Chain A
Amino acid sequence: MANHNAHSGHGGHEGGHGSMKSYVIGFVLSIVLTIIPLVAVMNDMFSKQVTTVLILVMAILQFAVQLLFFMHIRDEKKPRFNLIALIFGLVIMLTIVAGSIWIMTYNAVAT
């Protein structure tokens, strides 16, 4: 019931779909998370392995920022179908990507 009431106040509701503050925080975070890998790659700051891990982690964090601050995945009402569908999709996606890489590792062109 409380859930329902919270959602009915269409006119001037503040919460639920983010505020200017959360969008600005998300934007700043996404800029920072783009600059870090850029600087690391362009200045050759770390070894290749470390850089690879670093920029992949930054990309995943960037994904999280977009989901939390822009796509409002946290605001979803209780049966969280959107979130569950997303997790399901990610599992399939990771299986395809990791599986392909694994299968093809020893088939790659030697360098």
Chain B
Amino acid sequence: MAHAIDTHKGAHGHSAHGSHDGHHGHDHHDQEEMKTFGFWLFLITDVILFGTLFATFVVLRLNTAGGPTGAELIELPGIIASTFILLTSSFTSGIALLEMNRGNKKGLILWLIITALLGASFIYLEVTEFIHLVHEGATIGTSAYWSAFFTLVGTHGLHVTVGLVWMTALIIQLSRRGITPVTKRKVNIISLYWHFLDVVWIFVFTIVYLMGVM
């Protein structure tokens, strides 16, 4: 036991906290890890949520009720642009994480801002696309196909929007508190969320758009 505590202190390397006992710090660390696990569980439920929406969409993909079909109205160039924007933002959120591990607060905030801006342009393109579709006569009430379409794509867009609000709040918190174990865990979690949304979008892109125009 004594040996274990010794190694622990050695690893941490600051004797000021030594008397404080390594175990407290360890518990705290465990708790942050617990919270990250909790977030994974949330992501799992989100996988199931999107799974049901994808199932609905696939089942209803031919039920256009004589109205416009996806193939007629989908404009691929805008979708391709938003796909690459989201892919890039997934990468920049990763760089933000690297900057954080290096202890560079300014770099971390900068890359988070870039990620958020890319996310915002994704949302801008999506809203433009939805407006275009509605003008062409495809609303959420037009047919089962468009109901499924707007629910699936809109739920993803809503997730990205929530991510943007969350990221903005986190940037403010980081600029006030700096990189602490708590903000560190929060950045880790939001970057997991962001990568996850990227994955969901890849499937939206493949199943809704690419298969839609095939």
Contacts and interface: CB of A to CB of B under 8 A. Distances in A.
A38 B40 CA distance: 31
Interface in A74-111: 81-82, 85-86, 88-90, 92-94, 96-97, 99-101, 104, 108-109, 111
A38 B211 CA distance: 11
Nearest to A19: B98
A85 to B, nearest CB: 5
Given A96-B52, A109-B63, A66 B199 contact: yes
Given A37-B206, A55-B206, A70 B90 contact: yes
Given A31-B84, A42-B76, A108-B59, A59 B202 contact: yes
B62 A41 contact: no
A51 to B, nearest CB: 6
Which of B63, B94, B102 has the most CB atoms of chain A within a 10 A radius of its CB? B94
Contacts of A41: 210, 213-214
B94 A100 contact: no
A27 B211 contact: no
Contact of B202 (A4, A63, A97): A63
A86 B214 contact: no
Nearest to B181: A10
Given A92-B48, A93-B47, A101-B58, A23 B7 contact: no
A7 B8 CA distance: 11
Interface residues of B, number: 55
B117 interface: no
A48 to B, nearest CB: 6
B11 A17 contact: no
Contact of B195 (A56, A58, A71, A97): A71
Contacts of B47: 86, 89-90, 92-93
A55 B84 contact: no
B165 interface: no
B87 interface: yes
Task: Give the one of B11, B76, B210, B214 with max A CB within 10 A.
Answer: B210
Interface string B32-51: 00001100110111011011
Nearest to B80: A38
11 contacts: A8-B11, A8-B12, A17-B98, A34-B87, A34-B205, A55-B210, A70-B91, A86-B40, A93-B51, A94-B51, A97-B51
Interface of A: 1, 4-5, 7-9, 11-13, 17-20, 23, 26-27, 30-31, 34, 37-38, 41-42, 48, 51-52, 55-56, 58-59, 62-63, 66-67, 70-71, 81-82, 85-86, 88-90, 92-94, 96-97, 99-101, 104, 108-109, 111
